[in-house]
Amino acid sequence: MSTQRPAVQIPAQLVKELRERTNAGFSDCRAALVEAGGDIEKAISVLRKKGQAAAAKKAQREAGEGLVGSYIHAGGKIGVLVELNCESDFVARTDAFQQLSHDIAMHVAALDPRYVRREEVTPEMLEKERDIYKAQALATGKPEAVVEKIVNGKMEKFYEENCLYEQHYIKDESVTIHEMITQAIAKLGENISIRRFVRFKVGEVSGGAAGPETSTVPA
């Protein structure tokens, strides 16, 4: 006698909603909803985990193609250039990839990150920030063990505020820029990464941030 559970019936409207929220393919969305028993929030988690696994496999592949995306804020006072890399010119020319580069450039214009990734923060900067946070915490009279936890928490907040990959996307704070990249990798099937960006604001001397072995464009 079979013990197989009956198939979960997934309404097309639910699949459509999940696609709109995640940009995943129809079959992937339906499979995630089946796995999640029709719970859309659980299905989003399923898709993210699968996307992260797929992205991890592709992250080792060379991304030597791509494009430079741009965004000029209304009024022309702030402008951003972002180099977004992928593996092939074919993917670089897709609407999805070009939209991603535009969205990231717009985000940089709004939140003004200082670095692309946390690994790029200099040891000197990290030491300076830790010293400041530690002095602030000690001034409250808390025990050393508690102070260390406070400092670690504030350092994570520092990364979130200053590193592009760690920041929450300006138009959807439920995802970070890193998660956006991961979703794009799962959707487009290639390794994708932000190499560098530069942000110009009228009146500033210079701006922008660069990835490893890159330099900012002079203002």
Q: Is the pLDDT of residue 216 over 60?
A: no
What confidence score (pLDDT) does residue 197 get? 96
More confident site: 47 or 129: 129
Q: Domain map of the chain by residue range?
A: 1-58, 61-121+163-219, 122-160
pLDDT average, residue stretch 20-46: 83
pLDDT average, residue stretch 97-110: 96
What confidence score (pLDDT) does residue 20 get? 78
Tell me the CATH number for domain 61-121+163-219.
3.30.479.20
What confidence score (pLDDT) does residue 5 get? 45
pLDDT average, residue stretch 51-67: 67
DSSP string, the chain: ---PPPPPP--HHHHHHHHHHH---HHHHHHHHHHTTT-HHHHHHHHHHHHHHHHHHHTTS---EEEEEEEE-TTSSEEEEEEEEES-HHHHTSHHHHHHHHHHHHHHHHH--SBSSGGGS-HHHHHHHHHHHHHHHHTTT--HHHHHHHHHHHHHHHHHHHBGGGSBPTT-TTSBHHHHHHHHHHHH-S--EEEEEEEEETT-S---EE-TT--PPP-
Tell me the CATH number for domain 122-160.
1.10.286
Superfamily covering domain 1-58: Ubiquitin-associated (UBA) domain (1.10.8.10)
pLDDT band at 126 (very low <50, low <70, confident <90, very high): very high
